[in-house]
Structure 1
Amino acid sequence: MLNQKVADLRKDYKLASLEESDVAPYPLQQFDRWWQDATSSEIDEPNAMTLATSTPEGHPSARIVLLKSFDEEGFLFFTNYESRKGQELALNPHVSLLFFWRELERQVRIEGTVSKAGVNISNEYYNSRPMGSRIGAIASPQSKVIPGRSFLEEQVGQVAAKYEKEAPQRPDYWGGYVVKPVVMEFWQGRSSRLHDRILYTLTTTGSWKIERLAP
């Protein structure tokens, strides 16, 4: 079972450390610090994050989506509400996000609950997208089985022709979600796999508890 060529792949992490005395008192502040580092570094799509969802029975699925904003309300992304993730989110609002910034030897893991973004937010973002992306959001029956690539291209052609003289409006089945965190973990790679892991947990009083986890 063990493939030694795969098992021997390893890297020793030595860029930085993360101490309890150095982190911000609130996880969003700490995320913003690391976000500034990520966006000022030569990282391709630092806003790419893994979104993990599951069915009510506990069957998980994960995929990469793009972060579009974050603030005290939570972490914002957009997608098709009728896609697999949209259907799972409608039945089970508990989700996890994961950012991995390899160049900085860092990852951020977030657990929380999701809700739909406001209509105005979804409209504003949809209208800011390139025309091709707006047309694609209408044309693609995301996550549904289709007969082939040509079917998708035909759908795009039909939608593009329909809106040749006017801008399309956001379809009701496409929009934003906001993930409200209750747990945030900041992971800094360290040598010999003795990584730094700082965990923020939201308490019942609304304050954040900060703890160190063993690597």
Structure 2
Amino acid sequence: MAPIKYQVKLSDFWRSKAIITPSNASFPTYTADFSWLISRKPTPSIVLRRVLQDNQEVTLSSEPNSSNLPPATSTEILGAVDLDLLSLSKPIYITFQDPLGTHYTSSPLWKPVEVNNKWTTNGFVLTLPRTDGEEGEGRRFCWKRTADITKEKKQNVVMRKLDWLHLKLVDEEGKTVATFVHDCSPGWNRGDFVFEEEMAGGTGLVDFERVVILSGLGVVEYVRKVAGFSW
């Protein structure tokens, strides 16, 4: 099966919103809201939404300053990310529920993304409960920096080594299940999420696509802020 690719493209002048579009579609499936704040509360650092209109996905403009949704459009909150830059071991927290209370009334369950090596911030581990009936504490996945992105992006060796925002997601066996290919060129494209396999099966998780996109956005934004990029 061919890899599944989702492009992340900023969609407003302040770079506080993005649309996330699959390569086989002309319209976005998700949107993301970014906060400039660097503390965990009161506003989540990232809110991920699914775009709906009369229960159908709709086309959004990808031009800057035109990211407002059509009047008939609604969005469903799929989860959020909180960044805690004061923590070296658990700087990223993720919830797959609605933290804003629109569709969820009680406190959301936040899962920490732990740093494997707090001195290099390379290796972000997320443990998720299994949904396939298998025994065990859960599936462990780790986002790591990588320079092996030649299949998806033509970039010379030096640039691949210097760009610290190329990431790969590996499972417990070291198998790469997804990558984030950063777009360092000027413009509105932030990069592409590329899924290496059919995520509906073989991972023991439900909606793994959302897991990858939400956790990947969290890691990218954390690394950007640590490097001094606030937006």
Q: Same fold (TM over 0.5)?
A: no
Q: Place the TM-score, normalised by the shorter chain, in its bin.
A: under 0.3
Q: Which protein has the larger Cα radius of gyration, Structure 1 or Structure 2?
A: 1
TM-score, normalising length from structure 1?
0.23
More helix by share: 1
